[in-house]
Amino acid sequence: MKGTGGFLNPEQTIKQLNIEKGMIIADFGCGAGYFTIPLAKIVGEQGKIYALDVLETALESVRSRAKLEGLLNIETKRCNLEVSVGSGIDNNSVDWILLHNILFQSDDKSGIIKEAVRILKKGGKISAIDWKENQPMGPAKELVVSIESIKKIAEQSGLKFRSEMNVDNYHWGMIFEKI
């Protein structure tokens, strides 16, 4: 199943993340659940996925899909991820966080990353994916987020860059770790 406008392939992307059964994952800006649903299947009943979005319609879509697939390990939350404690998730409690195609939509990228760092366990990881610069698809040029700007914000927030991800022709991807 392809998501995010038919470009990103969630299953192929997830393979690069080394997700394991029992993990706790937060999908920031989960949308219709393109990543949430396959992740919930991987982490199994012992794991948990927080599907977080500002739009109730997106969360309803996730709830419907989860019900159809018999997935009981997804908790949906309507929240503002740009504010401190906006996710409502406990400090240092999450193994992985996905920031997939959310940063270009935000006026406070630093706030989102700080909230992610707050809930991430030491040694936990964040995968960030967003639109590449100078390509014909995606958001308006002024909304595109550069790799360098996200690396800088991430490092200022206590994250260490670990690797780049191979996503597709339209998106860049990076993995960071909480140190």
User: Total domain count for the chain?
Assistant: 1
Q: What mean pLDDT is reported for the chain? A: 93
Cα distance between residue 90 and residue 104, in whole Å: 26
The domain spanning residue 111 has which CATH number? 3.40.50.150
State the maximum Cα–Cα separation within the chain, in Å, rounded to a whole number.
42
Q: Given a cut of 90, is residue 133 above it in pLDDT?
A: no
Summarize pLDDT for 84-98 with one digit per residue, the tens. Answer: 999 999 999 999 999
How does DSSP classify residue 132?
P
pLDDT at position 36? 97
Mean pLDDT of 162-176: 94
Q: Given a cut of 80, is residue 5 above it in pLDDT?
A: no
pLDDT bin (cut points 50, 70, 90) of residue 2 is very low
Structural domain that includes position 14: 10-96+105-169
In a domain, 136, yes or no: yes
pLDDT at position 125? 98
pTM confidence score: 0.92
In a domain, 22, yes or no: yes
In a domain, 143, yes or no: yes
pLDDT at position 136? 82
Q: Given a cut of 50, is residue 1 above it in pLDDT?
A: no
In a domain, 4, yes or no: no
Cα distance between residue 88 and residue 162, in whole Å: 27
Q: What is the DSSP string of 18-81?
A: T--TT-EEEEET-TTTTTHHHHHHHHTTTSEEEEEES-HHHHHHHHHHHHHHT---EEEEE--T
pLDDT exceeding 70 applies to what percent of the chain?
Answer: 96
Summarize pLDDT for 24-67 with one digit per residue, the tens. Answer: 999 999 999 999 999 999 999 999 999 999 999 999 999 999 99
